Amino acid sequence: MPATPLSFTNPELDLHQSGVVVFRGTGPAGATLDFEFAARQRAQRTVNASGFWEVKMRVPAGKRRLEATATLPDGTSTTIRRNVDFRDASAIAELSSPPALSEVDDLGTPPILSHARLGIGVTDPVWWELRYETLRHITIPSLVNAHVPGHRLLLGVDTAISQDILETLKTIVRESGAEEFADLVFIDSVWAYPEAVQNYLRLHFGDVPAILHGIDDDDAVAGDFFRLARQKVAAEDPDSVQVHTFPFGLMYNIELHRVQLGVFPWHSMNQFTYGPPETIHILRAHSHNRIQFEGERRGWVVRVHEDAHLGYVYTHHKQSDSGYVKRLETMRLNDQSFPLGTEQAAYFGLHHNALEDLSRRIGAMPSVTGRTWLVSTQYQDAERDLQKAVQSIKKLRLDATREIVERESVKVAAPECSVEIPGDSDPGLARFEGKYLPEHFVRISVDGIDRASLFINRTGSWNYPIRLEPGQHVVELVGVSPRAATSSPTATSFTVPADSPR
């Protein structure tokens, strides 16, 4: 197996927050790793058996050079270098200045769909109590604040949630002002979610290329997020499939009511995809931190906008699924964090007083017992397999009914008949008789008036008696197939004698 190459994995970008930084990377397992920061601070580590290393240092603000050298037991070595701009909390004021936006933002195109999975797979009413708060005070107000013409919001909810939960969610959407562009959509499972997103795109936007934006039920975006997203899309080839991200934002801890600069290039709320609905919806089946690689694998345009301002709020709270306690204590002691201000909250459409109140109340709310997506893994895997089976069966069903209408004119043989006039033995009677195709019908009209439609049994024989006035008559026959195809008409003239009164 080839040795793992030497690389930096953190910082991910060329701009990072100063203070305490954990530098991470990869390298050949067992190699000696010499790390140097700004030609001043040094540390030595051993690359672990999995090919990873990390060094923790306190670094000042400024543009600094990083250097890492991996030395193998045989004495051979490899060195990599990288320049990173480290900024402290004061940089937030600079990053919060919105960029100039072009006229493209006012046209309502391309259409935009934001979507959020609201606890699909979770029905615990106590868990929902905190999610009501984050939706009411963070996520939905943020999306209302950022809303632009042509933007819609899909809120996916589990079909198994109680009516009480559903009614509360409806109230939150209505009272937040999102009712005109937001829809609650029932979802059977997380594996059915991508198809639900595609169907929603088709329903509201048709098959035109659109911007697809995901967000968790406790995060937020900046007020100009969607206008800037349209500007970034317009700067690329309009026929390309595109994946974009705004890496800089704020990390907000509800309990502490504090924020610090966040650098997450590929989180859920700060990235968006542009392209045809039938193409981009498949990304909903991938984790947010895999979208970049999936886009690159498919040859799509992938952009990390390091020139962008603060684009999002990533929220930490006691029901977060990702290592909350460690994040809580880190921010509590981090000299680069500071209280969330009124102007900063408003920038993301958040109400500062409501968040202060939630910060006071969150201590009484329970924590989760584990990561929600791991608690039911075995059942989710079973659902995934069943979903694949359902899709396979659905394809067979669609194939079976894809052509149920005749593609060519079906030729149906024309029926014929003999006409019998009994005369004196039964005055005025005419009898039509013939042979025709079993399980077909024969339509009979006399003198242009419909008289009967006869089903032809297995013998193929049929007859039809009728009493008529003396004189000249015409019987017309039309054959009808089991699929309603009709034959050309055939006509037979006959005479009922005058001496055969009815």
pLDDT tens for residues 206-229? 989 999 999 999 999 999 999 999
Give the Å distances, CA to CA, from 52 to 77, 344, 442.
16, 37, 83
Residue 93 has pLDDT above 80, yes or no: no
Output the DSSP codes for 232-264. Answer: HHHTS-TTS-EEEE--EEEEEETTTTEEEEEE-
| For residue 11, cis peptide bond before it (omega within 30 degrees of 0) | yes
Q: What is the pLDDT of residue 248?
A: 87
Contact between 16 and 84 under an 8 Å Cβ cutoff? The reply is yes
Q: Using CA atoms, how far apart are residues 335 and 260, in angstroms rounded to an integer? A: 9
Most confident range, picked from 66-70, 130-134, 169-173, 262-266: 169-173
Residue with tokens 């010499």: 34
Q: What is the pLDDT of residue 102?
A: 47
Q: What is the pLDDT of residue 12?
A: 75
Q: Using CA atoms, how far apart are residues 423 and 52, in angstroms rounded to an integer? A: 109
Most confident range, picked from 8-17, 35-44, 455-464: 455-464
Quick one: CA torsion of 134, 137, 141, 143, rounded to 10 degrees? -20
For the chain, percent of residues with pLDDT exceeding 90: 51
Which H or E element spans position 493?
A: strand 490-496
The pLDDT-based confidence of 230 (bands split at 50, 70, 90) is very high
pLDDT digits (tens, 9 = 90+) for 95-110: 555 555 444 445 678 9
Q: Using CA atoms, how far apart are residues 360 and 223, in angstroms rounded to an integer? A: 26
Q: Using CA atoms, how far apart are residues 133 and 318, in angstroms rounded to an integer? A: 13
Quick one: CA torsion of 161, 164, 170, 171, rounded to 10 degrees? -150
Q: Using CA atoms, how far apart are residues 169 and 179, in angstroms rounded to an integer? A: 11
* Average confidence (pLDDT) over 245-266: 88
| For residue 73, cis peptide bond before it (omega within 30 degrees of 0) | no
pLDDT digits (tens, 9 = 90+) for 264-308: 888 889 999 999 988 887 666 566 677 778 888 889 999 998 877
CA 467 from chain centre, in angstroms, equals 70
For the chain, percent of residues with pLDDT exceeding 70: 89
The pLDDT-based confidence of 423 (bands split at 50, 70, 90) is confident
The pLDDT-based confidence of 494 (bands split at 50, 70, 90) is very high
* Average confidence (pLDDT) over 337-356: 91
Contact between 139 and 153 under an 8 Å Cβ cutoff? The reply is no
Residue 483 has pLDDT above 80, yes or no: yes
* Average confidence (pLDDT) over 417-422: 89
Q: Using CA atoms, how far apart are residues 273 and 271, in angstroms rounded to an integer? A: 7
- Return the number of other C-beta atoms located less than 10 Å from residue 422's C-beta: 13
Residue 153 has pLDDT above 50, yes or no: yes
* Average confidence (pLDDT) over 231-240: 93
Map residue 155 onto helix, strand or coil: strand
Name residues whose C-beta falls within 8 Å of residue 22's C-beta, 6 or more positions apart in sequence.
Answer: 10, 54, 55, 56
Residue with tokens 């895997």: 381
Contact between 430 and 466 under an 8 Å Cβ cutoff? The reply is yes
Residue 426 has pLDDT above 80, yes or no: no
Provide the token pair at 339: 């209280």
Residue 154's closest CA among 185, 123, 180, 178? 185
pLDDT digits (tens, 9 = 90+) for 349-382: 999 999 999 999 988 887 765 566 566 677 777 8
Contact between 92 and 84 under an 8 Å Cβ cutoff? The reply is no
Q: What is the pLDDT of residue 293?
A: 80
Q: Using CA atoms, how far apart are residues 379 and 372, in angstroms rounded to an integer? A: 12
Taking all residues of the chain, what is their mean pLDDT, rounded to a whole number? 86
Q: What is the pLDDT of residue 95?
A: 56
Residue 89's closest CA among 313, 251, 245? 251
- What is the bridge-based pairing of β-strands 312-316 and 220-221? antiparallel
Residue 6's closest CA among 58, 107, 77? 77
Residue 139 has pLDDT above 90, yes or no: yes
Strand pairing partners for 169?
Answer: none
105 vs 32 pLDDT, higher one:
32
Residue 120 has pLDDT above 90, yes or no: no
Q: What is the pLDDT of residue 169?
A: 96
Contact between 116 and 156 under an 8 Å Cβ cutoff? The reply is yes
